[in-house]
């Protein structure tokens, strides 16, 4: 039998039961939409995390004071004396695979410019910070080692500060006040965007660590929130971690067998963990979405069985005028396929739409890929054929005379 | 000999009981014959006709159609035989509802020798003209009278140019005027060489046939 009339008959049968067809497709629509949305958001998240790894700075090690093993209790920032700027200098001197190292002392304050004020985080670092975090000044310049030595009242501001505090006027050369102390803005940091953990990285001010300690905190100590180390290559990370650990244990005079009083974190490792967690989530949600697709398929099978029973007489008439088993089979398979493919198409559209809404609302990159749409359509067709097969086979196997006698 | 059945038996198993609907029936029909089969209700006429029409299989016996043994054929082979050689007409017309007269007549062409859409259309139209329904081609069965519906069914049975027409009480649901119209149509196509085997309860309808056979309790008498 020609495929043209078969398709025509299938669509006529579906149109005859519009509501029923729509409800039957609903399972497939929801399933496909969910699969597309989940895959798109998941792929978007993967892309975002990849770019985060880059923006964090390559081959970054973070050294925190306090041990992971001391019961998980770590006193607040500044309370720990175990890690100091001097430790950083020792590491920079003695560890061979290090490219750059900067201490980080973090504080938060109200910042005033003219009549505007803004509350932001302040990071005290050395010029090596630029190298470590892969974070250059988009205009102006970083401060120098000399500024660090003297504790100069200079700073660089992030892109968010420019918009919020300076209302987009050029801040370089301007003076801002923190705790009523004037600071000269010498540069603007390149925009970095939102971090994987949701923090706006551009909402920050960077200045020499000495300035933070002495001018803002009036503190004689040089303990740090963490030390940021950039290692030459990914292959050197393991060696560097071991060397740094040895250096610190020695300079802290830790006894053999006692716990470390510091923790070294590999950022690439963390990024990898986040990626694997997010892809696991994507997988899990995809499985749930696929189950909906499966349930949709069962719905199609159910309705096709009903359809075969309802149209037994029609099957008999077709057989009486010469339809062979595969003609009847094809008829019902095409009908099931039309139901699922139509559902798949609508679902793919809705899924792509949902993914875009998610990206608009959450400012989250969403990737609706051709592959994921192709995959969803492929699966919905497979489901249509798979679940349509049994009803179609039952229809084809019927006896012509039994069909004609069917009431 | 277009139809030749020998010692056909048909036994239905209903629960524990065996019902013998056909009991050793033999029948030969020459090409161009017009046979009416009569007999009491339940005597096995429909059963015989369904077997002749390859819609049902005999329990035993041989059936040669156009000198080909069909009793052992597979369902698809039987479908091909129905498509090429047989036209069936039912008491209740058995048209596809919600499908126009034209499409009903086109239906056998879909399953027959592969033809284009235009050719199917042309053939079906010509056949509807042949049964004087040219003005009703786009009507649905529900919009046609009983006699008109049966004429659509006849057009459908004729459209594949079969060797044999099998009609089970074709006038059973029609008034006497429509009945004689249908019978005149049968006589016309029979005169052109088509073999017709028809079951009927009405003697005057049987009168249109060339010969009449009587059945009782699953046998010819
Ligand atoms: N599907 C079936 N299952 C069981 N018994 C059947 C079946 N079809 C027919 N019979 C039996 O076979 C016998 C012949 O039936 P058939 O329909 O051939 O009679 P008929 O001569 O066509 O009768 P009528 O003139 O009323 O149409 C009857 O006794 C009937 O009960
Ligand atoms: Mg009967």
| Disruptive mutation site among B14, B22, B55, B124 for chain A (greatest number of A CBs within 10 Å) | B55
Domain annotation covers residue B154: no
Domain annotation covers residue B205: yes
Which domain CATH number covers B82? 3.40.50.300
Tell me the two tokens of residue A322.
């010469």
Residue to substitute in B10, B36, B45, B55 for testing ligand 1 pocket (most ligand atoms within 8 angstroms of CB): B45
What pLDDT, in 10s, does the model give residues B155-165?
Answer: 999 999 999 99
| Disruptive mutation site among B99, B110, B121 for chain A (greatest number of A CBs within 10 Å) | B110
Residue B172, ligand 1, Cβ within 6 A: no
- Give chain B's residues under pLDDT 70: none
Q: Which residues pair with residue A181 across a beta bridge?
A: A178
ipTM over 0.90: yes
Residue B14, ligand 1, Cβ within 6 A: yes
Section A279-303 average pLDDT: 88
Cα-trace Rg, chain B: 17
Run of H or E residues at A349: helix A325-362
Residue B216, ligand 1, Cβ within 6 A: no
Which residues have CB under 8 Å from A87's CB, separation 6+? A63, A227, A248, A251, A252
Q: Which atom of ligand 1 is nearest to the CA of B39?
A: 21
**Structural domain that includes position B63:** 3-95+162-220
Helix crossing, A325-362 with A370-397: angle to 10°? 150
Residue B47, ligand 1, Cβ within 6 A: yes
Residue with tokens 């000198």: B67
Which residues have CB under 8 Å from A289's CB, separation 6+? A31, A34, A35, A37, A38
Residue B45, ligand 1, Cβ within 6 A: yes
- Higher pLDDT, residue A363 or B193: B193
Section A277-297 average pLDDT: 86
Is residue A77 pLDDT above 60, yes or no? Answer: no
What pLDDT, in 10s, does the model give residues A188-197?
Answer: 999 987 765 6
- Window 161-220 of B: residues touching A by CB (8 A cutoff) are none
Report chain A residues whose CB lies below 8 A from the CB of B84: 322
Residue B43, ligand 1, Cβ within 6 A: yes
Is residue A80 pLDDT above 50, yes or no? Answer: no
Helix crossing, A267-310 with A370-397: angle to 10°? 30
Domain annotation covers residue B104: no
Pick A317's closest partner by Cβ from B50, B94, B98.
Answer: B94
Is residue A271 pLDDT above 80, yes or no? Answer: no
Quick one: what percent of chain A has pLDDT higher than 70?
93
Is residue A1 pLDDT above 90, yes or no? Answer: no
Q: What is the DSSP string of A132-153?
A: HTT--EEEE----HHHHHHT-S
Q: What does each C-alpha distance from A167 to A116, A171, A182, A186 come to in angstroms?
A: 9, 9, 19, 17
| Inter-chain touch B111–A325, beta carbons under 8 Å | no
Report chain B residues whose CB lies below 8 A from the CB of A401: 50, 55-56
* B141 contact A CB<8A: no
- Spell out the domain ranges in chain A: 3-53+272-405, 83-251
Section A39-60 average pLDDT: 76
Domain annotation covers residue B25: yes
CA of B23 to the centre of ligand 1 (A): 13
Nearest CA in chain A to B85: A322
- Cβ distance B156 to B148 under 8 Å? no
How much is the pLDDT for A76? 44
Which residues have CB under 8 Å from A189's CB, separation 6+? A135, A136, A137, A138, A156, A157, A158, A159, A202, A204, A206
Alpha-helical regions (H) of A232-324: 237-251, 267-310, 312-320
* A16 contact B CB<8A: yes
How much is the pLDDT for A254? 85
Domain count along chain B: 1
Judged by average pLDDT, the poorest of A262-276, A338-352, B61-75 is: A262-276
Is residue A75 pLDDT above 50, yes or no? Answer: no
How much is the pLDDT for A356? 86
* B90 contact A CB<8A: yes
How much is the pLDDT for A74? 47
CA of B198 to the centre of ligand 2 (A): 11
Residue to substitute in B25, B41, B42 for testing ligand 1 pocket (most ligand atoms within 8 angstroms of CB): B42
* A398 contact B CB<8A: no
Q: Which residues pair with residue B29 across a beta bridge?
A: B3
How much is the pLDDT for A71? 46
How much is the pLDDT for A370? 85
Judged by average pLDDT, the poorest of A134-138, A197-201, A215-219 is: A197-201
CA of B41 to the centre of ligand 2 (A): 7
Residue nearest to atom 31 of ligand 1 (CA): B42
> Sorting pLDDT into bands at 50, 70 and 90, what band is A366?
confident
């Amino acid at each position: 039998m020609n495929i043209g009339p078969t398709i025509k008959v299938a669509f006529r049968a579906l149109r005859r039961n519009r509501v029923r067809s729509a409800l039957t497709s609903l399972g497939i629509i929801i399933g496909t939409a969910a699969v597309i949305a989940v895959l798109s958001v998941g792929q978007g998240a993967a892309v975002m995390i990849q770019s985060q790894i880059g923006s964090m700075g390559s081959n970054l090690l973070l050294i925190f004071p306090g041990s992971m093993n001391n019961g998980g209790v770590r006193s607040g920032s500044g309370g720990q004396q175990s890690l100091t700027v001097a430790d950083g200098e020792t590491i920079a001197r003695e560890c061979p695979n290090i490219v750059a190292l900067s201490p980080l002392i973090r504080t938060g304050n109200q910042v005033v410019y003219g009549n505007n004020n803004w509350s932001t985080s302040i990071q005290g670092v050395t010029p090596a910070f630029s190298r470590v975090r892969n974070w250059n000044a988009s205009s102006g310049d970083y401060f120098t080692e000399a500024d660090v030595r003297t504790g100069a009242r200079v700073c660089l501001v992030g892109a968010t500060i420019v918009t919020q505090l300076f209302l987009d006027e050029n801040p370089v050369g301007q003076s801002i006040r923190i705790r009523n102390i004037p600071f000269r803005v010498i540069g603007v940091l390149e925009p970095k965007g939102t971090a994987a953990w949701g923090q706006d990285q551009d909402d920050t001010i960077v200045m020499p660590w000495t300035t933070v300690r002495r001018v803002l905190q009036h503190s004689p100590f040089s303990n740090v929130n963490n030390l940021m180390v950039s290692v030459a290559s990914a292959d050197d990370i393991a060696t560097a971690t071991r060397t740094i650990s040895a250096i610190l244990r020695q300079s802290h005079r830790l006894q053999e067998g006692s716990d470390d009083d510091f923790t070294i974190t590999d950022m690439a490792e963390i990024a990898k963990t986040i990626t694997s967690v997010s892809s696991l989530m994507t997988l899990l949600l995809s499985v749930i979405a696929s189950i909906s697709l499966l349930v949709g398929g069962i719905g199609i099978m159910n309705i096709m069985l009903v359809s075969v029973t309802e149209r037994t007489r029609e099957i008999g008439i077709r057989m009486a005028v010469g339809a062979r088993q595969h003609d009847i089979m094809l008829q019902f398979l095409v009908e099931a396929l039309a139901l699922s493919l139509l559902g798949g198409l609508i679902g793919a559209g809705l899924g792509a739409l949902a993914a875009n809404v998610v990206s608009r609302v959450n400012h989250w990159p969403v990737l609706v890929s051709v592959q994921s749409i192709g995959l969803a359509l492929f699966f919905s067709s497979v489901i249509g054929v798979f679940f349509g097969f049994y009803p179609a086979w039952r229809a084809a196997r019927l006896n012509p005379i039994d069909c004609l006698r069917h009431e | 000999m277009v139809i030749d059945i020998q010692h056909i038996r048909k036994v239905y198993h209903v629960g524990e009981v065996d019902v013998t609907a056909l009991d050793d029936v033999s029948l030969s029909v020459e090409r161009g014959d017009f046979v009416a089969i009569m007999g009491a209700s339940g005597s096995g006429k429909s059963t015989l006709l369904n077997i002749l029409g390859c819609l049902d299989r005999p329990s035993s016996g041989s059936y040669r159609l156009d000198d080909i043994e069909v009793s052992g054929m597979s369902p698809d082979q039987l479908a091909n035989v129905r498509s090429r050689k047989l036209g069936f007409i039912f008491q209740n017309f058995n048209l596809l509802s919600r499908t126009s007269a034209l499409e009903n007549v086109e239906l056998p062409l879909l399953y027959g020798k592969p033809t284009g859409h235009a050719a199917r259309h042309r053939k079906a139209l010509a056949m509807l003209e042949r049964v004087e329904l040219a003005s009703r081609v786009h009507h649905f069965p529900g919009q046609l009278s009983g006699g008109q519906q049966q004429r659509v069914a006849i057009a459908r049975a004729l459209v594949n140019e079969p060797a044999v027409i099998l009609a089970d009480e074709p006038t059973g649901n029609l008034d006497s005027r429509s009945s004689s119209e249908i019978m005149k149509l049968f006589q016309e196509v029979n005169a052109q060489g088509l073999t017709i085997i028809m079951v009927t309860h009405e003697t005057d309808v049987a009168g249109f046939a060339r010969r009449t056979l009587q059945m009782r309790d699953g046998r010819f008498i």
